[in-house]
Homo-oligomer: A and B are copies of this chain.
Amino acid sequence: MLLRQLFDSTSSTYSYLLADQGEAVLIDPVKDKLDDYLRLLRELDLKLILAIDTHTHADHITALGELRSATACRSGFGTQSGSQCASFTFTDGQALTFGQRQLIAWHTPGHTDDSYCFLLPAAGNEAAQLFSGDTLLIRGSGRTDFQNGDSRAQWASLQRLLALPGNTVVWPGHDYRGWTRSSIAEEAAHNPRLQVADVEAYVQLMDNLKLPNPKLMDVAVPANRACGQG
């Protein structure tokens, strides 16, 4: 199996290319990077069959629409997005197949109500891999103060992720410090947001972050509701 992490420095977004037996999936692709994705797919001789977003992003514009136009891939958002432009929507527990492998969609609301993680189950000597979107970040979690964000729901989503085996690799949707990966055990022990006493303390912590809105929010959210082609 092939796994490539790709970084968009403008929005500090990580995108992921996964492939098995020549069939590829892109998670959270960024529109500005379209040519790079097409080049990499061509050079690695991969057929893109799926392009999926972990949620409706507020900080960058998705490449889902452009990828569907440029390749034969199907594009997918979580069903809670209400997307009208995607090829399909997925729900909690749905398996997304590429080659002989499957990603399992986990509905993990909190950052947004349409937030998902994707779990690639363990296989052979390879630990499970969690593409955690903006739900679980390295030593952080996605803000919950807009787009139907809900810190109480996010706490429940995070508890669900923490029940995964400790060696599960965590591949986040962003990192602003240049860290690239973590694990469930590492986040359970060292993520400051997971050290609070209970859900009430978590809600209080998240409600007091008082972050500025993302620069691109007023542009990105409507554009992403049109699969990046609005």
What residues make up the interface of A, taking CB atoms closer than 8 Å to B? 4-9, 12, 33, 36, 40, 43-44, 125, 177-181, 186, 189-190
Sample of 6 A–B contacts (CB below 8 Å): A4-B179, A4-B180, A4-B181, A6-B179, A9-B178, A36-B177
Q: Besides A6-B178, A36-B178, 16 other CB < 8 A contacts?
A: A4-B179, A4-B180, A5-B181, A6-B179, A7-B178, A7-B179, A7-B180, A9-B178, A33-B178, A36-B177, A43-B186, A43-B189, A43-B190, A44-B186, A125-B125, A180-B180
A189 to B9, CA, bound (A): 27
Most buried by B among A125, A179, A186, A189: A179
Give the nearest-CB partner of A177 in chain B. Answer: B36
Interface of chain A: mostly helix, strand, loop or mixed: mixed
Residues of chain B with a CB closer than 8 A to A190's CB:
43
Give the nearest-CB partner of A42 in chain B. Answer: B190
Residues of chain B with a CB closer than 8 A to A189's CB:
43
Least Cβ–Cβ distance between A45 and chain B, in angstroms: 10
A186 to B125, CA, bound (A): 24
Residues of chain B with a CB closer than 8 A to A6's CB:
178-180
- What 10 A-B pairs come out closest when comparing CB atoms? A7-B178, A43-B190, A5-B180, A6-B178, A125-B125, A8-B178, A9-B9, A9-B178, A36-B177, A6-B179
Least Cβ–Cβ distance between A193 and chain B, in angstroms: 15
A125 to B177, CA, bound (A): 31
Residues of chain B with a CB closer than 8 A to A125's CB:
125
Residues of chain B with a CB closer than 8 A to A36's CB:
177-179
Residues of chain B with a CB closer than 8 A to A177's CB:
36
A4 to B171, CA, bound (A): 12
Give the nearest-CB partner of A12 in chain B. Answer: B9
- Whether B4 lies near A7 (C-beta < 8 A) is no
Residues of chain B with a CB closer than 8 A to A44's CB:
186
Residues of chain B with a CB closer than 8 A to A178's CB:
6-9, 33, 36
Give the nearest-CB partner of A175 in chain B. Answer: B7
